[in-house]
Structure 1
Amino acid sequence: MSIESASMYEAGPSAPLTRSDSDFLTAYTDVGTEDLTQEAVDAADAEIAANRSAAAMDVKEKSFDTQEVAAALRMAPANVRRAVREGALFSVKISPAGHHLFPKWQFPYGRALPGLNAVISALPRSYHPLKIEEFMTKESEALRGMSPVTWLAEGGNVDDVVTLADEMAWE
């Protein structure tokens, strides 16, 4: 399964607000008129761009490329790409024309994590790859204190992790 994280792609500047949008924001939120100046909007756009860039670098540093996965799993790169299409491996593209990146957490003990397709399919499609990593690597009381990665790698029931993923979709 592959996601192209739109939240990681470069984005243009914020669209200008209409007068009614501006009036609504200042009347019903804690946004003040000083927050809506062009300088403030430009600063927010710059901060968003910096955060996206940092997140993309974080994903890249925590991932393998297709060749590395092929070598680790002793398979041809074409078979790695096929595994992505079939949902057996999870990959991320941090740009529309980018190559697949495979988060390292899905390869415990040097092999692909079983049941990954069902778990990833249960998570919200809008989840950023780093949010998925957090979910997959965070210990859970529902899994006897194990993370979903450890639970699945140790032969735990996939349905237990899918249930947790479904619950995350409602948060």
Structure 2
Amino acid sequence: MKAPLRWLWSLLRGGLRLLLALIILFEEWGWEPLARLMARIGALPPLRRLGPLIRGLPPYAALLLFLLPGLLLLPVKLAALWLIGIGRAGLGLALIVLAKLLGTAVVARLFQLTQPALLRLAWFARLYARWSAWKQGLLDWLRASAAWRGARALKLRLRRLWRREAVREQPHRY
């Protein structure tokens, strides 16, 4: 490959890696808090019995249940695209964001409940291990980048400044 093409390919590959890493990082950021929220909702009296029922599902029933939210949200996402198409872009984007948050919350909780059953499927366990290793490598690459380290240092400096200002503004009690 010629040098300019190699450079272009390297640039495109780096940009794609960065985009994927940021998407995964965003998912990771929301996954745990949303799963905790759904666990609290699932602890409410009308829903309390669902957790043990879901945990007791056989592997392929658990897989079907795990995939169901994605299928159920597809019409909502299509409706959002239709809204954007007819000029209601704000409403359409709001619907997409809401569907993404709700979908992530439900999928995160369902994965917590169905993971043991899903990992009994040999092919799922292999894919999950490969996915986890690939995702971790991608996130390690992102966290090792100069941009990430700089943003983290800036965040820490801002946090220290914020705390210093908060302490300064507190009235002294004697």
TM-score when scaled to structure 2? 0.27
The structure whose Rg is larger is 2
Asked which structure has the greater RCO (Cα within 8 Å, sep 6+), the reply is: 2
